Amino acid sequence: MSKDRALDFAKRLNEKYTDNLNIPILGGFQQIKNPGTLFTAVSNEGYVEQFITDGKLLDGEDFDSRLTKVLDNTKKGMRDARLTNPDNNLKFHKKYSANGLDFVVYIQDNLMNVNKKDRIIRQFNIYFLEPKSTGFHLLTVSTPPIELPNDNIIIDKIDLVNDKITNSLDNTVTDIMNHITYK
């Protein structure tokens, strides 16, 4: 399948399987065109909110088996992009329920070296299932590249007390999950 055809297919999936969802876009974020996503929105500071679908569950597939497949593919993508230590930089964070939806949240650290400087993009991945259509969805909120070392972010563990950036992102994604509605 050509890249253009794949992007068109992904766009149609996103439009078809999300008619019943209302996903809030963060205040101060501007939507941009990004083929293959339902929406991508960015802030002036470079934070990104993105919503995509992975389509309906297949016959005999459940949420956990699809999640495992998606996580494995994410780690493979991180390895292919030559990001540092992908197997340890995708961590389970929490399960959360709101408005009749159940969410599973992972934190993904994209560690890279750019122009001989270490940088991180910390990304919260929110996975959930649309109840009636069994559409499997992913909503992400991520930082801009942050130069390391940095006193505002802790690498290699989830620390909501001492890590200002992760604490702020956790509060933000929790607020988003509380406002996702399903018709």
The pLDDT value given to residue 19: 65
The pLDDT value given to residue 183: 79
Helix-strand-coil split of the chain, %, nearest 5 = 25, 35, 35
Rg (CA), the chain: 16
Mind listing the pLDDT tens digit for each residue in 1-26? Answer: 334 444 444 444 444 445 678 888 89
| Sequence ranges of the domains in the chain | 3-182
Lookup: tokens for 78:
């991180």
The pLDDT value given to residue 2: 38
Lookup: tokens for 114:
């750019």
Q: Which stretch of DSSP H or E encloses residue 168?
A: helix 164-179
**What whole-number distance in Å separates Cα of residue 57 and Cα of residue 60?**
8
Question: What is the three-class DSSP state of 95?
Answer: strand
**What whole-number distance in Å separates Cα of residue 95 and Cα of residue 101?**
11
The pLDDT value given to residue 3: 40
Q: How confident is the model at residue 88 (pLDDT cuts 50, 70, 90)?
A: confident
Average pLDDT over residues 106-128: 93
**Predicted TM-score of the model (pTM):** 0.86
Amino acid 169 reads L
The pLDDT value given to residue 64: 96
The pLDDT value given to residue 6: 43
**3.40.50.720, 3.40.720.10, 3.40.1000.10, 3.30.565.10: which CATH number matches 3-182?**
3.40.1000.10
The pLDDT value given to residue 24: 87
- Count CB-CB contacts under 10 A for residue 48: 19
Is the pLDDT at 35 greater than 50? The verdict is: yes
Q: In terms of Cα–Cα distance, which of 17, 20, 66, 58 is closest to 183?
A: 20
The pLDDT value given to residue 83: 84
Cβ neighbours for 73, distance < 8 A, ≥ 6 positions apart: none
The pLDDT value given to residue 20: 78
Contact 106, 92 (CB under 8 A): yes
